[in-house]
Amino acid sequence: MRNLLILLLLCVAVCSAYPLDRAARDKEDSMELVQQYLENFYNLAKDTKQFVRRKDSSPVVKKIQEMQKFLGLEVTGKLDSDTLEVIHKPRCGIPDVGSFSTFPGMPKWRKTHLTYRIVNYTKDLPRDAVDSAIEKALMVWEEVTPLTFSRIYEGEADIMIIFAVREHGDFLPFDGPGKVLAHAYPPGSGFYGDAHFDDDEQWTKDTSGINLFLVAAHELGHSLGLQHSTNREALMYPVYDPLTDLARFRLSQDDINGIQFLYGSPPVPPDDPAVPTESVPPEPGTPAACDPALSFDAISTLRGEILLFKGRHFWRKSFRTFEPEFHLISSFWPSLPSGIDAAYEVTSKDTVFIFKGNQFWAIRGNEIQAGYPRGIHTLGLPSTVRKIDAAFSDKEKKKTYFFVKDKYWRFDEKRQSMEPGFPKKIVEDFPGVEPEVDAVFEVFGFYYFFNGSSQFEFDPNAKKVTHVLKSNSWLNC
């Protein structure tokens, strides 16, 4: 690196002493850029004799070909316009080849629960925006693996996250604005697993600058042991793609294959009352709408539609169209977990709250609100409650009901506090409803309770069950 720097400085001096015409000068600049790119990312020996302008440039041509092959470009061995375009784009600082040759084998974490710590922050974004970008980025990987993450605020975490400029205590100084955006180390102790972000970039929540979530999701892929992918669709492709539509972000199959090769698939939730394996349709994990045994994890309204969640998927039932739509949760909300416990809409806030374990998220349309996930105990539930089974919010009365086993709690949306006198037994106030609830929602003034494949329509005014239906009746079955 030093040698190259001296060389570049020399070149600047020489070039300005003997002004070249513009085209030749541009070519010269590109040559330098390429030399640097190949040294940094393709392990081109940092040997001045190999400088690109040398007559015998075959090692360089070979490297250019290697780079073109890796990046999915036409392999010409020349600095054509496509190649130059790609090498001008911002990218990850981790080399595409040769970098991990010093780490024998396939580094991976030997445990599934990892800690992370956000050691310091960029000034470009509010802290909670950084927190939520990192959380979302971790969840991208958590969703497809058995890995779980928890945040610590002091001491040594497995994954230490810093924002820094230039020289920052490792052997890979950052390079100012543009080009290298971040780098991260593969699993291991000490600085291994850590992720560093170049604070000379303009970090943003959207794609007006460099989107922190996208870069963090990529870097954390390295922290978990993934190397760069040659697949242009992959998150682990080394070049930053600012055109990515964030709402449509999802891992490519290539990323999923990579991470599952290291860690396997997420475990099946043990207490999932789900469909027995025999009746699961041929494509594993994909529930069939009209399976008579179909049950749901959670159900909520969203802007006049009904969302019925099951595993990694959900159905979206609109009253305007007959056929429900079927989607992956991650295609709408990349950072939401699968296998959620409960969901409800507070229409006055245009917000849907999603629960899993002891955490909940707030979503508006396809945006996750900043500052989430939060702990369920912040709502006023006692610490003995580890998860909730189901929830709904009554639009008229502005009360939210949380169902846990055979009891329920009621939350006052106006006062934003749990009401006194709870929990109460479900059977006391909802006679006829099964004492445990998988999912519940409110529509047209009725409460619909779900238990396995059965559904109970409850009239809150008459205080009784008015219909017993199949759970999948909303899916035109």
159 binds ligand NAG (CB under 6 A): no
Question: Closer CB to Zn ion, residue 160 or residue 439?
Answer: 160
Considering only 161-169, 284-292, 321-329, 402-410, which stretch makes contact with ligand NAG by CB under 6 A? 161-169
Q: Which residues pair with 360 in a beta bridge?
A: 355, 374
Separation of alpha carbons 7 and 35, rounded Å: 11
Per-residue binder mask for ligand NAG (CB under 6 A), 422-441, x = binder: ------------x-------
Question: Closer CB to ligand NAG, residue 52 or residue 130?
Answer: 130
Question: Closer CB to ligand NAG, residue 12 or residue 468?
Answer: 468
Angle at 453 between CA 338 and CA 316, to 5 degrees: 50
Separation of alpha carbons 46 and 350, rounded Å: 57
Separation of alpha carbons 288 and 281, rounded Å: 7
List binding-site positions for Ca(2+). Answer: 124, 158, 175-176, 194, 198-199, 201, 297, 299, 341, 343, 391, 438, 440
Among 57, 280, 454, 469, binds ligand NAG (CB under 6 A): 454
**Angstrom distances, CA of residue 164 to CA of 175, 176, 400:** 11, 10, 44
Residue 167 annotated as catalytic = no
338 binds ligand NAG (CB under 6 A): no
297 binds ligand NAG (CB under 6 A): no
Among 50, 451, 455, 471, binds ligand NAG (CB under 6 A): 451
| Residue linked to tokens 């290539």 | 254
Cβ atoms of 295 and 450 closer than 8 Å: yes
Among 33, 119, 385, 443, binds ligand NAG (CB under 6 A): 119
| Residue linked to tokens 């460099």 | 210
Residues in 164-193 at the binding interface with ligand NAG, rule: CB under 6 A: 164, 168-169
List binding-site positions for Zn(2+). Answer: 92, 168, 170, 183, 196, 218, 222, 228, 236
Residues in 86-145 at the binding interface with Zn ion, rule: CB under 5 A: 92, 94
Residues 6+ apart with CB under 8 A from 383: 377
Site size toward ligand NAG, by CB under 6 A = 13
Q: Which two tokens stand for residue 391?
A: 């929830």
Among 58, 120, 150, 253, binds ligand NAG (CB under 6 A): 120
| Residue linked to tokens 């958590």 | 142
Tell me the three state secondary structure of residue 7. Answer: helix
273 binds ligand NAG (CB under 6 A): yes
Considering only 84-92, 97-105, 163-171, 264-272, which stretch makes contact with ligand NAG by CB under 6 A? 163-171
Active-site residue identified among 32, 39, 135, 219: 219
Question: Closer CB to ligand NAG, residue 204 or residue 331?
Answer: 204
Minimum CB separation of residue 436 from ligand NAG in Å reads 6
Cβ atoms of 364 and 354 closer than 8 Å: no
Which of 294, 101, 111 is CA-nearest to residue 188?
A: 111
Minimum CB separation of residue 245 from Zn ion in Å reads 21
163 binds ligand NAG (CB under 6 A): yes
**Angstrom distances, CA of residue 318 to CA of 334, 378, 379, 447:** 22, 33, 30, 18
Minimum CB separation of residue 169 from ligand NAG in Å reads 5
Q: Which amino acid makes up residue 218? A: H
Residues in the chain: 477
Instruction: Report the 10 Å Cβ neighbour count for 5.
Output: 10
**Residue 347: CA count within 13 A, CB half-sphere:** 18
Considering only 65-73, 98-106, 158-166, 180-188, which stretch makes contact with ligand NAG by CB under 6 A? 158-166
Considering only 54-62, 160-168, 318-326, 369-377, which stretch makes contact with ligand NAG by CB under 6 A? 160-168
Task: Return phi, psi of residue 20, to 5°.
Answer: -100, 165
Separation of alpha carbons 252 and 144, rounded Å: 11
The contact set with Zn ion (CB under 5 A) reads 92, 94
Report the catalytic residues.
219
